[in-house]
């Protein structure tokens, strides 16, 4: 296993990718706020991650490594873009709520910042270990 194949680093990178995707989806929703019939999109990831990290839940179809170590395979946990077409906010069938989008954007920005800070800390630790010498 490589130094950079650490589960924490992989998970943090994946979370940053998901937060970036969520940012693009929110921007797309806001850009279409006045488009008649437009239905908002959202990103599902955290609930799937939580299910995968549940130590009591190992699927029978999971790889042998996961059965033995009870560690989820992060490559199988991918974000899902959902289209919320069942709700309507206005008479033109558009369901984008600017207040909801801005709230989601603020929460996503905070989550991205925290994940980036945590990843930076992990990389600083690796850098310290690599460059430190016994004197």
Report the predicted TM-score, pTM, of the whole model to 2 decimal places: 0.78
Percentage of the chain lying above the pLDDT 70 cut: 79
The pLDDT of residue 3: 59
pLDDT beyond 60 at 96: yes
Residues 84 and 122: beta-carbon distance below 8 Å:
no
pLDDT digits (tens, 9 = 90+) for 14-60: 999 999 999 999 999 999 999 999 999 999 998 888 877 776 665 55
Compute how many other C-beta atoms are within 10 angstroms of the C-beta atom of residue 104. 19
> What does the alpha-carbon distance between residue 12 and residue 120 come to, in Å, rounded to a whole number?
10
């Amino acid at each position: 296993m490589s130094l950079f194949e650490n589960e924490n680093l992989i998970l943090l990178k994946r979370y940053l990718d998901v937060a970036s995707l969520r940012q693009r989806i929110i921007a797309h929703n806001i850009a279409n706020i006045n488009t008649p019939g437009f239905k908002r999109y959202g990103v599902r990831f955290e609930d799937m991650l939580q299910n995968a990290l549940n130590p009591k839940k190992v699927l029978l179809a999971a790889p042998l490594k996961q059965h033995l170590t009870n560690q989820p395979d992060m490559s199988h946990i991918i974000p899902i873009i959902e289209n919320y077409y069942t709700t309507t906010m206005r008479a033109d069938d558009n369901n984008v709520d600017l207040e909801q989008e801005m709230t989601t954007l603020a929460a996503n920005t905070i989550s991205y910042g925290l994940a980036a800070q945590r990843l930076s800390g992990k990389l600083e630790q690796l850098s310290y270990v690599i460059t430190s010498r016994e004197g």
